[in-house]
Amino acid sequence: MARPKFVAGNWKMYTDLAGAKSLAAAVAKEVGSSSKVQVAVCPPAPWLTAVADAVKGSAVVVGAQNCHFEKEGAFTGELAPQMVLGAGCKYVLIGHSERRHGLGETDDLLNKKARAALAAGLHVIFCIGELLAERESNHTESVLDRQISFGLADVPPEQMANLVIAYEPVWAIGTGKVATPEQAQAAHAFVRGKIVEMFGEKVASELLIQYGGSVKPDNAVTILHQPDVDGALVGGASLKADSFLAIVKAAG
């Protein structure tokens, strides 16, 4: 049985309230109430409930860009997994490179976040990827191995059905550079093989692995139809409905 395609838009720290509602409504209108491609949008935290309202009744679901690993407590500025659920989200991004490298989030911390989010009933998009220097020194696979081994340690196998991996080569995020279809496929195949080691063949065969890194309508088709590429985590191109929807269409 073929795996479904899944395209998610990461809006990062962009949009105002009116723009977020308008963008979400435009995506929801085009996607409609059923879609063979799974679609999610991940707006900034203040707009989560408004965006959830805007996509209600459509097949589009909402994701948060981050959460904490505790259920509650004195953690100023943080969002508990239960709060993310309560805001109308199905997904949460964990481990995006901008948090790993810009905010110093470690493999251990990301493991705690992923396990807490899954335990709370959220679906997790777990992001991994290598820096340019790591690729140029032929360390891509060792980096991915470490990020998966530590990041998904102690995740119950039965919860892996609620986890998606997004492979995002850091050198291709927001740079205009894109991994070739062959580079993307090789990395995705390595990731799937690692999941076989950790969780078994069935989990690995059903796992969705997205590609992220300057995905645009003009490069989406060739990347998204590689054997182990199951969709895209889209950054800048998700901020305009037309370009995001073109990527969704390319995945179909």
Contacting residues for 182 by C-beta, under 8 A, at least 6 apart: none
> What percent of the chain stands above pLDDT 90?
95
Q: Is 12 annotated as a binding residue?
A: yes
**pLDDT single digits (tens) 101-124:** 999 999 999 999 999 999 999 999
**pLDDT single digits (tens) 148-166:** 999 999 999 999 999 999 9
Q: Which uninterrupted H or E stretch holds 127?
A: strand 123-128
Amino acid at residue number 180: T
Asked if 73 and 41 touch (Cβ cutoff 8 Å), the reply is: no
Contacting residues for 154 by C-beta, under 8 A, at least 6 apart: 111, 115
> What does pLDDT average to over the chain?
97
**pLDDT single digits (tens) 170-225:** 999 888 888 999 999 999 999 999 999 999 999 999 999 999 988 999 999 999 99
Instruction: Please give the Cα distance from 130 to 65 (Å, whole number).
Output: 20
Average pLDDT of 72-98? 98
In the block, tokens 């838009």 appear at: 9
Instruction: Provide the CATH number for the domain formed by 5-251 in this structure.
Output: 3.20.20.70
pLDDT at 1 over 80: no
Q: Is 236 annotated as a binding residue?
A: yes
Of the pLDDT bands very low, low, confident and very high (cuts 50, 70, 90), residue 85 is very high
pLDDT for position 207:
98
pLDDT for position 149:
98
Name the residue ranges covered by the structural domains of the chain.
5-251
Instruction: Please give the Cα distance from 252 to 250 (Å, whole number).
Output: 5
Closest listed residue to residue 101, CA positions, set 125, 129, 126, 76: 129
Out of 68, 96, 123, 188, pick the active-site residue. 96
Q: Is 34 annotated as a binding residue?
A: no
Model pTM score: 0.97
Instruction: Let me know if 134 is a catalytic residue.
Output: no
Residue 213, phi then psi, degrees to nearest 5: 140, 90
Average pLDDT of 36-44? 98
Instruction: Let me know if 139 is a catalytic residue.
Output: no
**pLDDT single digits (tens) 7-29:** 999 999 999 999 999 999 999 99
CA 158 → CA 69, 93, 118, 121, 206, distances in Å? 19, 19, 10, 12, 12
Out of 105, 123, 168, 188, pick the active-site residue. 168
CA 108 → CA 60, 79, 95, 162, distances in Å? 31, 18, 11, 20
